[in-house]
Structure 1
Amino acid sequence: MKLTTYYFTLSGMILFNLMFGPLVRATDSGLACPDWPLCYGKFVPEWTFHIFMEVGHRYYSGAIGILVFWGLFRVYKSEGKGLLFRIAILSSVLLVSQVILGALTVTKLLHPTTVNLHLLNAILLLLTCGTIALLAKKDTAAWNWPPQAWQIFVLLLVGIFYQIFLGGKVSSNYAGLACPDFPTCYGEWIPPMEGNIVYQMEHRYFGYLLALLVFGTTSYAIFYLKAEKVKFYLKLASYLIVLQILLGAFNVIYHLPKLLTGIHTLNAVLTLLACYTATFYHFRKVS
């Protein structure tokens, strides 16, 4: 298997895990095993649905971990100690921190801060593996610095990452139904900011601003940039952000269906990946 295929496959596995994790939480399986890394002191515990979700997530994450370390070895063998190797080392460091955060998520009884850090660290791991996959394609020749309007692209990535963080706060603080209606909250556009309503509304407000930023960046690329790949991935991000708003609305209207909450997280990460890939090609010269 070619290196680029290996890392695209690995990135796909991590992406699936970013939906698997929220499903563990949505099904109230996060503390199905009170201990870590074993479950009730056993490597293979007695199965219930909740234990299956929790232990399945652990086993699947363990398989990903093995592949990340094997990828580091493959990069070293094929590319030496260059840029790809340094990024692969970073992915291994992020993997170690992900394991530690996973353990803390259990031992700290799903503390919101730990849960959020666990999610964000997983996304960073995905981005590092995705970067290796893109660089290994060798369809870009060199860094293009400073690219046109690079600040907008950086702001876009930071904005999406922050919005995912806000979504994590909503989930980890069980604020998904703090407002029973959408797009208003208890019939008000600006409700009293108290209790869990704060988490819900700051996520919504920033989501609206982020949607405008995605649409604006896409429009700018269409009219002023020449790179077709940048335009393609930004257009994709625009479609995904519309879908994300609809998924958010359906989550509220239908009272957080378990599968839909996982898809909502998955789509948010896909939006980030689309914008990240557009930024990658904006900062690299196509060979």
Structure 2
Amino acid sequence: MLHKYSRLVVASTVLLILAGSFVTSTDSGLSVPDWPTTYGWNMFTFPPSKMVGGIFYEHGHRLIASTVGLMTIVLAAWLWMTDSRRWLKWFGVAALGAIVAQGLLGGLTVLFLLPPAVSTAHAALAEIFFCMTVAIALFTSPGWIDGYTAVGADDVRLRQLTTATTVVLYTQILIGATMRHVGAGLAIPDFPWMFGHVVPDHWSPAIAIHFAHRLGALIAALSILATSIYIWMRHADRPELARPATLIIFLVGAQLMLGAITVLSRRDIWINSLHVVCGALVLTTALVIALRSWRVKFANAASVVGIAA
């Protein structure tokens, strides 16, 4: 039951990320100029009839965030009371701390009128919190607890490759978040070319950030491809690795397509927002692969499987 609930928290966090991306895509971040109130109202008593235009996106985002926060309180308490793994109890507390910090950063972005540094930090922490919820869902899954039947020997190269790929993907998301929050999403207005060239023929800070995001996308895609090929060649008999290795190929293909269409559509709201969500799904899929590649290293560790307190 705990595992099912943790998966519900993951799904709710996906919705929260989508709502947050709509706020940025529609430039609605200051549609509600006060915080933690909404035009002087208690957040939870603000009339739905007044949720129009940008207020719908910003206030809706706050309500969803509050709901996820409450769900995380329940998750952390549930872990603390029922799970025997001390490290996982504290990991649940850390996840709760992350969502609280995330809410505070969200408030600061409003109170300080959307400073790029704070807004980017808000987006960066959102991805970390999402990763934490996915990790908790994984750690409470039957497969993790059973050690995936302890198939396969410890593969140091696999662990290094999957960990590096996850780091590359998170770095790419940070670059993308920076690009969004400094308004550089269309600094290079064409695709696949850049001002008609392979490399921009002129530069500005905005163009440099946009170019870095495109270059990062290529590096991330190649890292994912290398990881998946390695798994297919060396660990095809381990479905807990082979399945997500295949899934992530489809996800990164969709992500690259969404990124291209975002530019070609002049940042269509839906496309732009789905690009953010898909990026988060790519990151967490890579994280699952990485964590599962590390699981075999602790095949005999009671503290990992929950036998000991």
How does the TM-score come out when normalised to structure 2? Answer: 0.88
* CA distance in 2 between partners of 1:278 and 1:83 (Å): 20
Q: Is 1:175 the counterpart of 2:184 in the alignment?
A: yes
| 1:263 shift after superposition | 0.3
What's the RMSD between the two structures over aligned residues? 1.9
> In structure 1, which of residues 266, 276, 279 is the aligned counterpart of residue 287 of structure 2?
276
Structure 2 residue runs of 5 or longer lacking an equivalent are 300-304
Match of 2:156 in 1: 148
**2:205 aligned with 1:195, yes or no?**
yes
Cα shift readout 1:84-105 (whole Å, capped 9, x = no counterpart): 2111011011012111111111
CA offset digits 1:40-61 (Å, max 9, x no partner) = 2112163322112111110110
Match in the other structure for 2:228: 218
Instruction: Kindly state the Cα deviation for residue 142 of structure 1 after the two structures are TM-superposed.
Output: 5.5
Q: Is the 8 A contact 1:227 1:282 kept in 2?
A: no
* Secondary structure of 1:32 counterpart: coil
Instruction: Verify the 8 A CA contact 2:19 2:60 in the aligned structure 1.
Output: no
Structure 1, unaligned stretches of length 5 or more?
A: none
Could you tell which deviates more after superposition, 163-172 or 230-239?
230-239
**Bigger mean CA deviation after superposition, 32-41 or 222-231:** 222-231
Letter in 1 for 2:135: T
> AA paired with 1:274?
T
Q: Does 1:88 align with 2:95?
A: no
SS in 2 for 1:74: helix
Alpha-carbon offset, residue 72 of structure 1: 1.2
Aligned-residue offset at 1:179:
1.2
Residue 9 of structure 1 corresponds to 8
**Equivalent residue, structure 1, for 2:23:** 24
1:111 aligned onto 2:119: no
Q: Deviations over 1:229-276 (max 9, x none)?
A: 212111111111111111111111111100111100011011111111
In the TM superposition, residue 158 of structure 1 has moved relative to its aligned partner by 0.4
Quick one: distance in 2 between partners of 1:187 and 1:195?
A: 19
Distance 1:157 1:247 in 2: 20
In structure 1, the residue matched to 2:168 is 159
Counterpart residue identity of residue 103, structure 1 = G
Moved more, 210-219 or 134-143: 134-143
Percent identity for Structure 1 against Structure 2: 25
- The letter for the 2-side match of 1:49 is G
In structure 2, distance between residues paired with 1:37 and 1:146: 49
Residue number among 253, 257, 268 corresponding to 1:246 in the alignment: 257
Q: How far 1:17 sits from its partner (Å)?
A: 0.9
> What amino acid sits opposite 1:148 in the alignment?
V
1:116·1:168 contact (CA, 8 Å) conserved in 2? yes
Say whether 1:136 aligns with 2:143: no
Tell me the distance in 2 between the aligned counterparts of 1:48 and 1:217.
45
CA deviations over 1:140-176 (Å, ceiling 9, x no partner): 3459996431111111000000111111011101111
2:271 to 257, 260, 264: 260
**In 2: Cα distance, 1:100 partner to 1:216 partner:** 38
Q: Which moved more, 1:75-84 or 1:85-94?
A: 75-84
For residues 156 and 205 of structure 2, what CA distance do their matches in structure 1 show?
Answer: 43
Query: Counterpart in 1 of 2:302?
Result: none
Aligned to 1:124: 128
Q: How far did residue 182 of structure 1 move?
A: 0.4
**In structure 2, the residue corresponding to 1:196 is in which secondary structure?**
helix
Q: Number of aligned pairs?
A: 286
Matched residue type, 1:26 = S
**What CA distance in whole angstroms lies between the structure 2 residues aligned with 1:122 and 1:16?**
12
